[in-house]
Amino acid sequence: MQNKKRESKNSLSRKFRLSEFLAENTIKLVSFTSFAIIILIFVFVFREATPIFFHTEKKAVSQEFSKSESYGDESAQSSKDNYSSFSSGSEDAASFKNLTQKEWQPVSENPKYGLLPLFIGSLKATILAILFGAPLAILAAIFSALFASKRLKEIIKPAIELLASFPSVVIGFFALMTIATFFQSVFGLTYRLNAFTGGVAMAFAIIPIIYTVTEDALTAVPKYFSEASLALGATKWQTALFVIMPAATPGIFAALLLGFGRAFGETMILLMATGNAPLSSFNIFEPVRTMSATIGAEMAEVVVGDTHYTVLFFIGALLFVITFIINAIAEFYVRAKLMKRFRGE
């Protein structure tokens, strides 16, 4: 009897099923395709950015070619016509020195490709976003994972996660029109659009990520942790703060990192709400220009193959590397650690 059962089970698993085969391979194909696409994007971005490392001397544009033939305008002549201020012999090289200086003036007679203000801008806006978003998101996660009734949780969780599907342009627009005006009138700010406004707006974008991951981490803590704590006479709050939270710390840390990565790469909100002035100050009420917004704003009009173009791709590569590293840490290191802890190793 038992033998028979095993046999039938075996034959079940061995039997070839077309639908299963197709499903399995389609999923495999899709996942490999997305993997391949990521690799290809990586290769493309880096390929476009490489000329930066082999900077070539650019020939000065000679002035001979300075005038087109005109048509249909034989009579009208004005003094405005002579636009003879073409740059000649400009130094348009993205040397290491040029990239590390404090000015970003890519459209200039002497283009300056200082990445420092952009990096500071990105960092400033991101950190502000984390500072605003993280406490809210984590507290909300603690509440819905540990305190809220099941019914309440079923309302809160989808509601917050719905925020993630908010288009960032809409958040940016809201920040530009409403949040900026509000903060200016409340704090009497000199600059309407600044890192602070951008950071607050971006907090909306990262709250759902931090919330979801934190919530997952908190609910993943095995039940016997809280049961043991409650059995020992600890209150609900004590259990949450001193037992469950420490157990889920790596997960919360991962949530913060993912939020950081998302914020660092966010473009539209920052493009609209931060003022885009490439300043390298640490005053949070001054406008900033972030790396992602710079690409978003300037890529459209740049001459392909130009130094400016290459530098923009270099910024793209940098963004890619930074967010990649952060997400990788969050994914692999922290998650592995979390799992280990729960298995009691």
User: Footprint of other proteins on this chain (CB under 8 A)?
Assistant: 61-63, 65-73, 76, 78-80, 83, 85-87, 103-109, 112, 117, 180-181, 190-193, 271-272, 275-279, 286-287, 289, 297-304
Q: Which residue, 106 or 208, has its beta carbon nearer to other proteins?
A: 106
Q: Minimum distance from CB of 109 to other proteins (Å)?
A: 6
In angstroms, rounded to a whole number, what is the distance separating the alpha carbons of residues 303 and 294?
A: 15
CB of 299 to other proteins, least distance (A): 8
Q: How many CA atoms, within 13 angstroms, populate the side-chain half-sphere of residue 56? A: 9
Q: How far is the CB of 210 from other proteins (least distance, A)?
A: 29
* Cα 233 → chain centroid: 44
C-alpha distances in angstroms, 192 versus 189, 232, 238?
A: 6, 54, 43
CA distance 104 to 94: 12
Contact status, residue 106 vs residue 311, Cβ threshold 8 Å: yes
Q: How many CA atoms lie within 13 A of 172 on its CB side?
A: 14
Judged by beta carbon, residue 301 or residue 345, the one nearer other proteins is: 301
Query: Which CB sits closer to other proteins, 92 or 215?
Result: 92
Nearer to other proteins by C-beta: 34 or 66?
Answer: 66
**Distant-in-sequence contacts of 86-90, Cβ < 8 A, 24+ apart:** 86/61, 87/61, 88/60, 88/61, 88/62, 88/63, 89/60, 90/58, 90/60
**Which residue lies nearer to other proteins by CB, 115 or 206?**
115
DSSP 161-174: HHHTTS-HHHHHHH
The least CB distance from residue 83 to other proteins, in Å, is 5
Cβ at position 160, least distance to other proteins in Å? 30
Nearer to other proteins, 234 or 284 (CB): 284
Q: What gap in Å lies between CA 326 and CA 71, rounded to an integer? A: 57
Instruction: Give the nearest distance from C-beta 163 to other proteins in angstroms.
Output: 25
For other proteins, the closer of residues 17 and 102 by Cβ is: 102
Residue 196 beta carbon to other proteins: minimum distance, rounded to whole angstroms: 14
In single-letter form, the type of residue at position 340 comes to: K
